[in-house]
Amino acid sequence: MSYNLSNDAEQPPAPNPPGISASNLRLFKRAGTVLAVLVFVFLILWWARAVYTDLLWFDHLGYRGVFTKILILKALLFLAGALISGLTLAVNISLAFRFSRGPSTLSLPTESYRLVWALLVA
């Protein structure tokens, strides 16, 4: 019995878990995506229902202008907070990449690097 010890870091590919084929995995991914979209749509409709109910109530009392100002202010505060958080995160990630020590032992593929920056920009 002989062993090839020329590259210890490379592991042999792991076998697929029993009962999960590639087609089943695609089916689970597709079902998970559909479920996530349905939950997202449900939450958006739930929020829209609450906003519409409040709009009708404020309009009935004659304070529709107050409600629209409150709603616009909440949206602007959310956008300002998201912008500040995004800028802080982008600066911290760029500083982490700039001041990290030497090359990584695990190389980051170019596609993954682009994906990280695309997610930061989005």
pLDDT exceeds 60 at position 1? no
Task: State whether 83 and 94 are in the same domain.
Answer: yes
In a domain, residue 93? The reply is yes
Model confidence over 48-107: pLDDT tens digits? 999 999 999 999 999 999 999 999 999 999 999 999 999 999 999 889 888 887 766 666
Indicate whether 4 belongs to any domain: no
Domain-embedded: residue 104: no
pLDDT at 57: 97
User: Is residue 82 located within the same domain as residue 57?
Assistant: no
Q: Which domain holds residue 116?
A: 64-99+109-122
Residue 4: the pLDDT is 59
DSSP per residue over 73-114, as a string?
A: HHHHHHHHHHHHHHHHHHHHHHHHHHSS-SS-SSPPPHHHHH
Q: What is the CA radius of gyration of the chain?
A: 25
> How many CB atoms are located within 10 Å of the residue 104 CB?
8
pLDDT band at 15 (very low <50, low <70, confident <90, very high): low
Domain count, the chain: 2
pLDDT of residue 97: 83
Token pair 């920009």 is found at 121
Q: Are residues 82 and 116 in the same domain?
A: yes
With cut-offs at 50, 70 and 90, classify the pLDDT of residue 121: confident
pTM for this one? 0.56
